[in-house]
Chain A
Amino acid sequence: MADISLTIDGKKVATPAGTLLIEACKTAGIEVPSFCYYPNLSLCGACRMCVVKIEKMPKLQTACTTVVSEGMVVTTDSDEVKQARKGTVEILLGNHPLDCPVCDAGGECELQDMTFSYGAAESKFMEAKNHKDEQQWSPVVFFDRPRCILCFRCVRVCNEAMDVAALGVQNRGVSSIIAPNKEDHLECEECGMCIDICPVGALTSGAYRYHTRPWEMKHVGTTCTHCADGCKTTLGVRRADTGMEIVRGDNRDKSGTNGDFLCIKGRYAFDFAHHPDRLRRPLIRQNGKLTPATWEEAFALIGKTLASIRDQEGGAAIGVVGSTRTTNEEAYLLSKFARVVLKTNNVDHHRTADFPALAAALQGKTQKTASMADVFTAPAILLIGNDPTEQHPLLAWQIRNNVRLHRARLYLVNSHPIKLRKQAAGFLQIAAGSEAAFASFLAGKDDAASSADKDAWGALRDKLRREQNLVIIFGSEIRSAAVGDLVNFGLTIPGAKFVCLGDYANSRGAADMGLYPDLLPGYHPTAGNSEFHREWGEVPQMPGLDFPAMAAAAKAGKLKALYVAGSNPIGRMGVDPFVFSKSFVVVQDMFLTETAAMADVVLPAANAYEKQGTFTNTCGDLQLVKKAGEVTDTKNDFEMIVRVADAMGFDVRKLVPFGGGVRADMGQSRGAQSGEADRHAVWLEAHGLELKMSPFDPMAILDEIQRLVPGYGVSRMSLLAGNAQHTSLTNVGAGAAHKPELIAPANDSLFSSGTLGRYSNTLQSVIESREATPSEVAAD
């Protein structure tokens, strides 16, 4: 829009027409205080803190409701304005309990800051304050009414941005209160947005309240370890006897793609890390019982056993199962470890979406994948399958608010009337299982639609064909061939992009890093001659076994060892643990899962909140994972894998490019290319990076990932700065995963999160409280 020029405190300012004065002031570097104003929520004009003087206007005006106009002359710091703000803070403090010393928000309170800057030093009031006891609205939401300043942010974020509408305003005048939808308690998505957005300590978190003071915590902005959306969450950590304890999760750092958003898991479900069942000692099975051992004993035993199995039986006798919740570096390392150290392609992980099929379908195309940010700005969205409100809370938030704020057109195709239909411009309910048919119908195979469906399907297809820059999002209902159909259709729409929905924090990373029996990182087939064959040296050509095949092999006595890192295939795939009784099983995990319980060696693992590295969310956005918490006597999977390789007598320099000596012989070490220039050193040089000094430094593997994995060559600078970097599936290998039937969606809800969820007391307490008060109007 055309620029408007106005004068604020003598400064000439130019802003686009339609800008709110309060925003114009911000851009001019002039702070205008406000309680009720909040970007992207409906306007209130209720707190009157943002009043300013506008020439030719008799009264002071609220900057939050005034749209800039040409030639406007504004004063934000006159005595009149200052007095108005002072007066408002004064009167507000009149009824405010001023129990700051025991208030959760103390030190992080906008009312405190406001009082500090706009002064209400001496109190003019001697009347009794209106009191009301604190109420618990849900296991995680508490409400302290007297502290509430009625800025209505919570009500608006819940109604407008979350579309949950669990909060309202009741009574009037000074008796006005914020009220929960079930009179004395809340029944909602428990996202805690109301707590985050509360400028004071009126709404507080059941998981944090009275635990500590803000200034006693260190705040680490990292990536959520629950669903595959990759919200940035800020963890507040505090020293504890077991290392560093995570005491709070919130969204004070709003720099992530999730902006203001966090769901219940990202906000509260960090507590699995302190669960009493957490493994804190290596365990070795001795005469049938898992008994505590030292790390040295454990690594020695694993190294010796695996080496001898590999040397006598061959790598094909060893199976490896990776994780959807370890970092990219760990997944890549495991994939490489399996191939070059264990000499096996028997590699798998818990598949929840057909990423390889998307990669294959996009062969030779560039920039065809949408980032999580794109989902908030796209003019139109097609969502087939899945229920993001439950399974991809951030994605749902992006879609909802794109529709609300940018009038995006949302087209839904689903076998259930999912909640997002309220935002949908078109909702097509189809029979469960006919998603694939719909995809091929889109691709032009008209007979894929039954005569009953033809018209409805056709009408939607016509609408879609008229769209541009459409973002096409699909859940696990769409697999293998159907993905191809969908992509073929999409490619006929100018600017269309795709999102494939996997379920876990690093499901996408696990796929990109090649935790498949037939795929190396970047979807390169094991059979062939990719960079990975060249760089890694000997890589078995024959595709390996997927997990069910490993189980079968074990049963037949052919699989002598199973190496599981951060996964619970036994629990997940319902395989009888007995089939592995003759195999040597190593498990790295936080808890004694069904798989760990039958292992010969169990290594206590650190979780994603306790390590450094990167995650790739389901859209392909690469984000930094930072170390926040720490539980002594656990190790991260990365270090454990390197230690095992070392214990097997393998030169770890060939696994992790590190150390001074590397430069010299690295060239030769690159098998086929021996003698040739050291590509890694050249790449590092070109990117102004140093060779890492420790074999346990995941950044060393990140160097290799960025150098070799298609799409991952993003700006390291920006990545380290904490920004999401989109890795588009570009120049990927030709490999397509087989066996779509192996895809097993997690079907997690807002309140469940696989194994982590089971060990999160917060999530459990919410589930219990909902069972206690059954809902007539479910999540919808």
Chain B
Amino acid sequence: MRFSEEFEARFAEMVPHYPTKRSVLVPTLLFAQDEVGYLSDEVIAEIAGRLDLTELEVRNVISYYSMLTTKPRGKFNVQVCTNICCLVRGGENILRHCEKKLGIGHKQTTQDGLFSLEEVECIGACSWAPAAQVNYDFHENLTAEKMDKVLDEYRTKATQ
């Protein structure tokens, strides 16, 4: 199992920051997921091995954190917040709009593997609601039109 040099550098840098090896687990899993797209059995085995954990222990942790997934996702994970602040400013309509536009529902992925859709909890954009995150990018004060633009932007980004 090989990760990018960037990953290896970050991993090597982080481990000595803590008195126990496993302390790097959560951020490391997220970085690994960012590279591979999801936490495959291979990734789990690799990280478990590095941190002297059993695969069970690693899975216990993965399944706890909502950003971590063991199933492949689209290139762009569209995460629409529908929590209270977004709710009262039409966050749900944004979600429904994405569902229609992408033709997929919560935690589903488009045929072309480009987009995944997810209804998420508060992402810390309450004062700029309604908001969504595509992968790690924030998109705020959304309207249906704005959402369309955002999605198109990523689609073109993918084709370039």
Contacts and interface: CB of A to CB of B under 8 A. Distances in A.
A168 B56 CA distance: 7
Interface stretch (B29-37, B57-65, B96-104, B128-136): B57-65
Contacts of A169: 60
Interface of A: 165-166, 168-172, 179-181, 183, 777
Contacts of B63: 170-172
Nearest to A183: B59
B54 A170 contact: no
Contacts of B59: 168, 170, 179, 183
Contact of A172 (B55, B57, B64): B64
B96 to A, nearest CB: 25
Nearest to A171: B63
Contacts of B60: 168-170, 179
13 contacts: A165-B54, A165-B56, A165-B57, A168-B57, A168-B59, A170-B60, A170-B63, A171-B64, A179-B60, A181-B55, A181-B56, A183-B59, A777-B54
Contacts of A181: 54-56
B56 A166 contact: yes
Contacts of A172: 63-64
Nearest to B45: A776
Nearest to B58: A168
Interface in B23-77: 54-57, 59-60, 63-64
A187 to B, nearest CB: 10
A283 to B, nearest CB: 52
| Main DSSP-derived SS at the B contact region | helix
Given A165-B54, A170-B60, A181-B56, 6 more contacts: A168-B59, A168-B60, A170-B63, A172-B64, A179-B56, A180-B56
Contacts, number: 26
Nearest to A177: B63
A602 to B, nearest CB: 50
Interface in B1-24: none
Contacts of A179: 56, 59-60
Contacts of A777: 54
Contacts of A183: 59
B104 to A, nearest CB: 22
Q: Is the interface of A mostly helix, strand, loop or mixed?
A: loop
Nearest to B41: A183
Nearest to B55: A181
A169 to B, nearest CB: 6
Contacts of B55: 181
B105 to A, nearest CB: 18
Nearest to A175: B63
A181 B63 CA distance: 14
Contacts of A171: 63-64
A171 B57 CA distance: 12
Contacts of B54: 165, 181, 777
B13 to A, nearest CB: 29
Max chain B C-beta neighbours (<10 A), residue from A166, A169, A170, A179: A170
A166 B54 CA distance: 9
Contacts of A180: 56
Nearest to A180: B56
Interface string B108-130: 00000000000000000000000
Contacts of A170: 59-60, 63-64
A178 to B, nearest CB: 10
A644 B59 CA distance: 64
A168 B54 CA distance: 11
B119 to A, nearest CB: 16
A181 B55 CA distance: 8
A329 to B, nearest CB: 48
A777 B59 CA distance: 17
A169 B60 CA distance: 6
Contacts of A165: 54, 56-57
Nearest to A170: B63
Which of B54, B56, B59 has most A Cβ within 10 Å? B56
A180 B57 CA distance: 11
Contacts of B57: 165, 168
A172 to B, nearest CB: 5
A182 to B, nearest CB: 8
A22 to B, nearest CB: 27
Contacts of B64: 170-172
A592 to B, nearest CB: 44
A-B pairs, top 5 by smallest CB distance, nearest first, are A170-B63, A168-B60, A181-B56, A168-B56, A171-B63
A180 B63 CA distance: 14
A756 B22 CA distance: 44
A181 B60 CA distance: 10
Nearest to B65: A172
A19 B85 CA distance: 48
A257 B42 CA distance: 44
A777 B52 CA distance: 13
A180 B54 CA distance: 12
B23 to A, nearest CB: 19
A172 B55 CA distance: 18
B16 to A, nearest CB: 25
A313 to B, nearest CB: 65
Contacts of B56: 165-166, 168, 179-181
A170 B62 CA distance: 8
B85 to A, nearest CB: 22
A525 B25 CA distance: 65
B155 to A, nearest CB: 33
B6 to A, nearest CB: 30
A541 to B, nearest CB: 62
B134 to A, nearest CB: 25
A166 B64 CA distance: 18
A171 B62 CA distance: 8
A181 B44 CA distance: 13
Interface string B64-95: 10000000000000000000000000000000
A474 B122 CA distance: 62
A300 B55 CA distance: 65
A777 B56 CA distance: 12
Instruction: Among B55, B63, B64, find the residue whose CB has the most chain A CB atoms closer than 10 A.
Output: B63
Nearest to B64: A172
Contacts of A166: 56
A166 to B, nearest CB: 7
A519 B54 CA distance: 52
A168 B60 CA distance: 6
A722 B24 CA distance: 52
Nearest to B66: A172
A203 B63 CA distance: 22
A172 B64 CA distance: 6
A165 B55 CA distance: 11
A169 B64 CA distance: 9
Nearest to A182: B56
B5 to A, nearest CB: 29
B97 to A, nearest CB: 28
A165 B64 CA distance: 18
A166 B59 CA distance: 12
A179 B59 CA distance: 9
A170 B63 CA distance: 6
Contacts of A168: 56-57, 59-60
Nearest to B57: A168
A163 to B, nearest CB: 12
A399 B64 CA distance: 34
A172 B60 CA distance: 10
Residue in A168, A169, A183, A777 whose Cβ sees the most chain B Cβ within 10 Å: A168
A158 to B, nearest CB: 11
A181 B59 CA distance: 9
Nearest to A172: B64
A165 B59 CA distance: 13
A329 B55 CA distance: 51
B84 to A, nearest CB: 19
A171 B66 CA distance: 9
B52 to A, nearest CB: 12
B67 to A, nearest CB: 13
A130 B137 CA distance: 35
